[in-house]
Amino acid sequence: MRIVILSSSVYGETACAMALRMARLGYIPAGTLALRTLDRSTLLRKFGQWGGRGVARYARMKLMPNDGEGQGQVQNLYLMPLLKNGGGVFRSLHEVAHAYDFPVVSCADQNAPGAIALLKDWSPDLIIFTGGNILRQPLLNVPRLGVLNVHLGLLPRIRGMSTPEWSLLKNVPIGITIHYMDAGIDTGPILQSYQFSEASCCSLSDLRNRLIAFGVERIAEVVKALDEGSISATPQSDLDRDHQFFVMHDWLQERAAERLADSWEAFPGTVHG
Amino acid sequence: MPERRLLRDWDTQTHVRETHSEMTDFGEACKDRGKANNTATLAAKALSESAGLLRAPQRVLPLIRRLVSDKIRVTFEQTHLYSYTAAKRPSGEMLRACIAWILNAQRPDGGIAAYYSLLTGYSESYPEVTGYIVPTLYDFARTPNQSGSVLAPERAIRWLLSLQKPEGAFPGGLGCADAAPSVFNTGQILRGLVRAHGETNRSDVLQSASAAGKWLLQMQQPDGSWSGLGAYQRAAHSYYSMVAWSLAELSEHTGDRQYAIGAGRNLDWTLSHFRPSGWVDGIHLQGHSNYLHFIAYVLQGVLECGILQRRADAIDAVAKSAWVLLRKFETNKHLPGAFDRDFNGAQRFTCLTGNAQMSCVWLRLFEITDDLRYLNAALKMNEMLKQLIPSRGGPGIAGGVSGSFPVWGRYQPLRYISWGCKFFADALLSEQRLTRSFDMREFTVLSCAS
């Protein structure tokens, strides 16, 4: 099984963890395609969004992700077991690629003709999406089986963005869905869904981090099952209804956090799984 | 001369005089008089507006400041999909700033100016907006922890009563009591009268409201629309659903069914103009774009009238259109200022009052459907608007909502408009009310149009 990983940055922890998990499972990536960390249009956009100080902080975070007191640490502690590298941690896809010998390529747009040509050269059976652009059909057509995504919500009920938060507010069970991507937003065929107990999570970011780590583990199982031919995808039902959600406003996020805190207080120390 | 009065009415009614496509578009009414004549009139009007700067050179600096500020913002505007930036100013502070803008715009006669132009300063009092700002001012005065006064709406009502014609109608246009009667403006003013009677219980206000309502019923066509004399360009318009809302309110307030029947007839007529795409036909403004302001008028009028009349078909139709616009807002971070049919051909500038109106529509839909996505979109829309409203500047600028962003956009260029402030204040008042009463009940996802 030839696997390619897409990432929003060469410093993406999830992408690094995913590449390591696949490599340790025996599926050393055929390549990884990451978006450039600092390109002009991104910086201009961020400048308009955050101002000069915000851009400086962003640039520093991207260029020196583990600078200063964060040296040797990772932002998502639940990925730490995967990212450990002797006494330190893998801090970029380049370091993972060096250890397992696969190419890492940066580009401005994963849908660009050059990027598509490169992906075709790698002739993947599967692409695993951990971040980047909204994928267009030419890219989706490249892999033999499809492009896999770990969606942090239970499809088809919660599509789109801020899905753990929306799940909390709407009393929909928390979980992840591993599915093939198609041209819609989280509308592709589903391979596997997993519920997840939020009762042990003390904050929204903690919940999100746990879900990401949970997703990296579960996608490894799905890839293995796909390789063995023991799993197949099911088209989503309910596509005629619009279950798309959008980035949640801060005020609603606070309400979601309160609901999470309520469940944490009700069941402290509950173990997820 | 009736025709001449009608032309003047065309020139001033329902904000349309101000909705021209360029600064040079002023004087729309002259279109019928031939293109050459029209161009000369437009040029003269533009020159006259610009000459405002010669009369008041102190306006040059605020004008330049706003132009530069918008140019910078447009250059660096965030276009990142799904991102949004929270404003630094809390909603309560912003609301007070908007209300202060409105109070500063209240003229000595008691009416509210239509706009503050960066070139010419305040306009004359505008009866239509003065009427429908009244509920906003009362809402603010009744808000907990606000120090709003009821004096301003009472002064406004006193002025409006002095403008009413014997047949019950109110004049179109700016500040001119002798202008021709206008259906739309009468409907908009009626909302203020109904609210004022609810607040003051004054019999003269009730009589005035009833006379206005009766005149509207007299002018209504058999198909439920308003066209002919009293209607802008003599055509029937779907955004006159705002008039139907006023009639429905009058009926609720007085218990007189005849107004509800008239409102229902117009609601049926307007609903027949909703297309499967969510688009609404029948805005029918010859020579004007389909500005978001008018689209939002249709939706707000149908929604509020539908709620009062318990018409699920009306609420569903609005929800479908509002959802199309919600998706556009969520993915593009703003709503275009104008559209072609079926929401195609979106234009690049933003009509801020239309955005504020859509926030009101989404908040109302959240209130009646419990779908949190409407609340989410409205909260983000309000954040976006807060960032585009100047916190500094003299009266007429600070707290003002410009017609367009950037300020030179096609809708009300270089002007801060009173109805923009009114709708944004309404949106902030609704936001405060709904977030205060928000409880953590289980919210359901209702099916929306995809």
Q: How far apart are the first and last CA of chain A?
A: 28
Helices and strands: H and E segment counts in chain A:
9, 11
CB B183 within 8 A of CB B230: yes
Question: What confidence score (pLDDT) does residue A16 get?
Answer: 96
- For the ranges B89-103, B200-214, B329-343, the lowest mean pLDDT is seen at B329-343
> Which DSSP letter does residue A76 get?
S
* Most B CBs within 10 Å, among A50, A246, A258, A260, to test the B interface: A246
- Chain A from 166 to 225: CB within 8 A of any B CB: 166, 169-171
Contact B449 A242 (CB under 8 A): yes
Question: Cα–Cα distance between B146 and B393 in angstroms, integer?
Answer: 23
Mean pLDDT computed over B111-133: 94
Helices and strands: H and E segment counts in chain B:
15, 7
Give the pLDDT band of residue B440 (cuts 50, 70, 90).
low
Q: What is the pLDDT of residues B61-77, one digit of tens each?
A: 888 888 888 888 777 66
Give the residue on A whose Cα is nearest the Cα of B447: A241
Give the pLDDT band of residue B450 (cuts 50, 70, 90).
very low
CB B274 within 8 A of CB B317: yes
Question: Cα–Cα distance between B352 and B334 in angstroms, integer?
Answer: 9
Question: What confidence score (pLDDT) does residue A210 get?
Answer: 94
Enumerate the H helices of A26-180 as residue ranges: 40-63, 80-83, 93-100, 113-122, 137-140, 163-169
Q: Chain B contact for A159, CB < 8 A?
A: no
Question: Cα–Cα distance between A117 and A182 in angstroms, integer?
Answer: 19
Maximum mean pLDDT: which of B141-150, B311-320, B409-418: B311-320
Domain ranges of chain B: 61-123+289-450
Is the pLDDT at B273 greater than 80? The verdict is: yes
| Chain A CB contacts of B73 below 8 Å | 48
Output the CA torsion sign for B136, B428, B443, B296: positive
CB B131 within 8 A of CB B189: yes
Contact A171 B82 (CB under 8 A): no
Instruction: Count the Cβ atoms, other than its own, within 10 Å of residue A82.
Output: 24
* pLDDT < 70 positions in chain A: 41-42, 45-46, 48-51, 61-72, 264-273
| Chain B CB contacts of A47 below 8 Å | 76
Mean pLDDT computed over B159-187: 91
Question: Bridge partners of A179?
Answer: A149, A190
- For the ranges A6-10, B256-260, B264-268, the lowest mean pLDDT is seen at A6-10
**Measured at the alpha carbon of residue B211, what is the angle toward residues B210 and B212, in degrees to the nearest 5?**
90
- For the ranges A215-229, A247-261, B43-57, B184-198, the lowest mean pLDDT is seen at B43-57
Give the pLDDT band of residue B50 (cuts 50, 70, 90).
confident
Question: What confidence score (pLDDT) does residue A272 get?
Answer: 37
Beta strand spans in chain A (E): 3-7, 31-35, 84-85, 88-89, 104-107, 126-129, 146-151, 159-160, 175-180, 190-195, 244-245
Question: What confidence score (pLDDT) does residue A45 get?
Answer: 64
Question: What confidence score (pLDDT) does residue B349 get?
Answer: 87
Is the pLDDT at B10 greater than 50? The verdict is: no
Look over chain B and give the mean of its residue pLDDT values, rounded to a whole number: 85
Question: What confidence score (pLDDT) does residue B407 get?
Answer: 86
Task: Name the more confident of B78 and A139.
Answer: A139
Give the residue on A whose Cα is nearest the Cα of B435: A251
pTM, two decimal places: 0.86
Mean pLDDT computed over B47-51: 76
Is the pLDDT at B200 greater than 70? The verdict is: yes
Please count the residue pairs, one from chain A and one from chain B, whose beta carbons lie less than 8 angstroms apart: 69
CB B207 within 8 A of CB B251: no
Give the pLDDT band of residue B41 (cuts 50, 70, 90).
low
Question: What confidence score (pLDDT) does residue B147 get?
Answer: 67
- Please name the residues in contact with A160: beta carbons below 8 A apart, sequence gap of 6 or more: A166, A185, A186, A243, A244, A245, A246
Mean pLDDT computed over B195-202: 97
Of the partner residues B76, B80, B82, the one whose CB lies closest to the CB of residue A161: B82
User: How far does B422 lie from chain A, in Å, by closest CA?
Assistant: 24
Give the CA dihedral B133, B137, B143, B145, nearest 10 degrees.
140
CB A170 within 8 A of CB B372: yes
ipTM score of complex = 0.85
Q: Chain A contact for B81, CB < 8 A?
A: yes
Q: Chain B contact for A47, CB < 8 A?
A: yes
CB B333 within 8 A of CB B380: no
Q: Chain B contact for A137, CB < 8 A?
A: no
Question: Cα–Cα distance between A193 and A174 in angstroms, integer?
Answer: 11
User: How far does A28 lie from chain B, in Å, by closest CA?
Assistant: 32
User: How far does B72 lie from chain A, in Å, by closest CA?
Assistant: 9
